[in-house]
Chains A and B, each alone.
Chain A
Amino acid sequence: MLLRYLLFICLAFSLLLSQSFFSMRGLGEEVINTDATMTALGSAVVLSYQNPSLPIEKEKTVFQAGIIGSGVLGNQFKYHRFITDARPNYLKGIFVLPFDFSFGIGLTEKYNQNFNVYSDTINHPGYQRQIVGYGGIYCAGISLAKSFYKHFAIGFEYGRYFGNFQELWFFQALPSFTITTDTVTTNYRGDNLKFGFGASIKNFNLGILYEKNLPIYIDNRVLSHGVLIDSAMGLKLELPPRIGLGLSFSPLPKFAIILDYFHRQSKNIKINQNRSPIFQNSNKYSIGFIYNLDDKHPIRFGYRYYDWYFVDHTNKLINEQAITLGSGIPIPKFGSLEFALELINRKGSTLTENICRLNLTLHYEEVWKIRKRRWGY
C-alpha cells in the first residue's frame, strides 16, 4: 500500500513543478544527495561515488542513474502551501582500467533553483505577483582513480559547471487577472576540481574529499516583453572549497555504522570580489546504519543535520534535519533499484518546510571476467 502511495505521489509530482521556497536566494538549494544508497544513510556524501577515489577496489564497471521526487509543505504564519518537484538529478559511470585504475564520468545537479511563490494580497490589495523559477547548476565531470594494494585509493575529478536559470514574473491585476510577464535569465559556467582519498582496513572504511571550485562566471539578463533591458555579463562568483570526511565501521557481520561530515567556508563566497551578508558557513553532519537481512536485502536508515550556506530574509541561518531510510530491490543480471525516502524538516525564522523526498537510483554493476583459454574446446 505504501509503495502504491509512493508511486502515485511520484507520478503526481512529475505533473507539477517547484521546489524549496528558500531557493530564491543565493544559488538556490544545494543538492547534497546523489545516489539513493548513501542518501538513505543520512546523505553520506564522502563515502558515495561523489568521492572520485571510490570504489577502492577497481573490479566492477558501475553505472548509476537517479531521479528524485519531492513534495514540500511550506508553512509561514497562518499560510500553507504544497509544492512538488520531480527531476533526474544524477548520472554516473565508472569503468575499470588496467593496473587498478578506473575512469569515471558523471553528471550531477549541484544547485536547484526551482521555486514558485505568490505575493501577499492583503497588504497589497488589487494585484498579485507570481514568480516561478526553474533551472539550476549542473556539473559534468570526468575522473581518474588508482587503487593501491586493494586497501587504498586516490582519485581526481575535473568538473565543468554549467547551468541556466529562468525566473518568470507574472503580474495579475485582481480580479481581472491581467497577466504580464518579465523574464530574468541567468547562465552559469565554471570549473571544479575534486580530490578524493579512500581507505579500507578490516572493518573500517575512510573517505576524504576536497572540492576546489574555480571561479564560476554568471551572465544575467532581464527581458521585458522579450526585449533585453538590462544585463550583467561575466560576473565572477568565487565559491570556497568544500572539505568532507566519512567513516564507516562494521562491528557486526551484518551491521555497519556510517559517519559523514562536510564543511564549506561559505561566508567567503564572493561575487565580483564582494561578499554578501546572506552567505554563512555550511556544515553537514550525518549518521547512518545498515543492517543486511541477507546479501541482497539491506535495510538502511540515517539522520542528518545540515546548516545551509545562506540565511533567510531575517538573517537567520536556514537549517534542516532529516530522517532517512531506504533499501534496494535486486534486478537479476543487472544490478538493483535502490531507493531512499527522506523526511526533512527545514527551518528559517518564520518559514518552515516539511519535505518528503523519494530518491530512486538504478544501479548497474558488472564484474569483468577474464576468460581463460582452455585447450580441448
Chain B
Amino acid sequence: MKLVNSKFKIQNSKLKNLIYWVVLMTLACNRSPVGFDELDRNLTEPVNFELMPNASACYEKYVRNGISSNLILGKNQEYEARVLLMFPLADSALDSLVSVRLVLKTRRHKNLPFTVHIVQQAWQENGVTWLRNDSLSYWLNPGADYSNTIIGQGSIGTDSTIIMLSYIDSLVHGNGIILLPQDTGFAILYSCETSNDPKIIYKYPKKERTFIASADASIIDTNNLRKERNNLWIGAGYAYHTYLKFAIDTLPDTATITDAQLILYPNKSFFLTDTVEIGVHRLLAPYQEGLTPKFYPNLSAKARITNVDTLIKINLKDLVQFWSMHRDSNFGFVLNGQPEYSDIFRIELKTDASNYPRLKFGYILPPKGKF
C-alpha cells in the first residue's frame, strides 16, 4: 500500500511539474499586447496602395527548345510542333541490315499519326528554332528543310513508338530526321536529355546495334494566332512576354514594403499540362519597342497556375522593396513561362479597365529615433 502511495505521489509530482512548465511556457510565448502603450513614440499606420502600370507591352519570339527534356509533336489551329532528331549512325555493313527501327518513348500520350522525313540541312540542338537551323543561320523554309520522301510513318504509342525506317543510305548521310504531325493534338516524347532517349536500332541477321540520339529539339510555331497590339499574353513553347512597369517612385524613400501583390486576371488560356509556372524577371535597361529587352537572369518571383484560375497573384514584395531602395533600377519587369522551352501554353490576360493588371502593395514608415 505504501509503495502504491509513493508511486502515486511521484506521478502526481511529475504532473504538477508538467503543468507548471506548460503554464510558464504558454505565458512566455503568447503575443498579447501587454505594455505596447508604453511606447513613447507615435507610430504610423500601414499605407495601402494600388497602382496600374504606367507602361505595358507584349512581344513574342521563337524559343530554342533543344535543351528541353520534352519533345513536343502535334498541331492544332493555333500551334504546330515538329521534332528534329539526330543520330550518330554508322555507315558500315549497311548491306547486311535486316531492318532499322526508330524507338521513341512517350511521356504524354496522344494517338497522333506522324511521318518521318530526312532533314536536308545541318542544324544545332542549342540554336534551332522554327526559323533558324542554328543560332546564326536560317532554314530555307521555315519549319526546317526536309525531303518530301517519307522514310517512316506511324502513330504515337501509349508507352513507346516503334517505326520501321527505309532509305537507310540517305538516313545515314543526312542531317537527322524530322517528325511531322499529320493530325491535330499534341503528344510529348522523352528527349535525349532523359534516360528514355530516342533510339535507332540496326537489326542484323544475328545481332542488333543501338544508336542513341545525339541531338533533338522541338520546333514550334503558331498558326492563325494574331496578337493585337493591346493584348498581354504570357506563353511558352512559342514565347509571349508581357512587359509591365509601375511608377513606384511616389513611395517615400524610407518606406518598408509590407506586402506587394501583382494581380492578373486571365481571360483565355491554352495549356498542354494541368499546371504551368510563370516567372517575373526585372529588366536591366529601359524597355524599347521592337527590341528584345535584357532582363536579370534570376527570377524575382514566380507563381504556379492552373487552367481554371480566374485570378493570379504573384508576391512581388522583395522586388518592390528593391526598387524602393534603388529607384533608378525600376525599368519594369517581364512575365514569361518557366521554363519556356519545355511546354506549350498561353495565358491571355484581361485588359479592360476594371481587370487590367495591377500592383497592390502596402508600406510602413520607419520609427523615429529614441531621443
Contact = CB atoms under 8 A, between A and B. Distances in A.
A124 B37 CA distance: 13
A124 B45 contact: yes
A14 to B, nearest CB: 13
B297 interface: no
B35 A230 contact: no
A193 interface: no
Interface string A116-152: 0111110010111111000000000000000000000
Contacts of A351: 34-35, 37-38
A227 B326 CA distance: 12
A367 interface: no
A178 B317 contact: yes
B370 A21 contact: no
Contact of B37 (A127, A224, A313): A313
B366 A224 contact: yes
Main secondary structure of the interface of B (DSSP, over half): loop
A81 interface: yes
B24 A173 contact: no
A169 B371 CA distance: 16
Contacts of B253: 229
A312 B38 contact: yes
Interface string A216-232: 00101110110101111
A252 interface: no
A127 to B, nearest CB: 6
Interface string B31-50: 11111111110010110000
Interface in B236-283: 253-254, 256-259
Query: Counting chain A CB atoms within 10 Å of each CB, which of B32, B35, B253 scores highest?
Result: B35
A120 B366 CA distance: 18
Interface stretch (A36-44, A86-94, A180-188, A201-209): A180-188
A9 B33 CA distance: 24
B205 interface: no
Contact of A82 (B28, B43, B254, B325): B28
Contact of A16 (B28, B317, B368): B28
Contacts of A118: 31-33, 36
Contact of A21 (B30, B35, B40, B259): B35
Given A25-B38, A171-B258, A232 B371 contact: yes
Contact of A178 (B28, B39, B259, B367): B259
Contacts of A80: 27, 30, 32, 34
Given A75-B34, A313-B38, A127 B369 contact: no
Given A12-B24, A16-B28, A173 B258 contact: yes
Interface in B31-83: 31-40, 43, 45-46
A158 interface: no
B202 to A, nearest CB: 60
Interface residues of A, number: 61
Interface string B307-325: 0000000000100010001
A21 B258 CA distance: 26
Query: Counting chain B CB atoms within 10 Å of each CB, which of A22, A169, A271 scores highest?
Result: A169
A215 interface: no
Contacts of A237: 371
Contacts of A119: 33, 36, 43
Interface string B337-371: 00000000000000000000000001010111111
A26 to B, nearest CB: 8
A124 B27 CA distance: 22
A180 B258 contact: yes
Contacts of B362: 173
Contacts of A176: 259
B18 to A, nearest CB: 13
Given A81-B30, A127-B46, A167 B370 contact: yes
Interface of B: 24, 27-28, 30-40, 43, 45-46, 253-254, 256-259, 317, 321, 325, 362, 364, 366-371
10 contacts: A73-B27, A82-B24, A84-B28, A118-B36, A169-B366, A171-B364, A229-B253, A230-B366, A271-B371, A351-B34
Given A76-B34, A81-B32, 8 more contacts: A76-B37, A80-B27, A80-B30, A80-B32, A82-B27, A82-B28, A180-B257, A220-B369
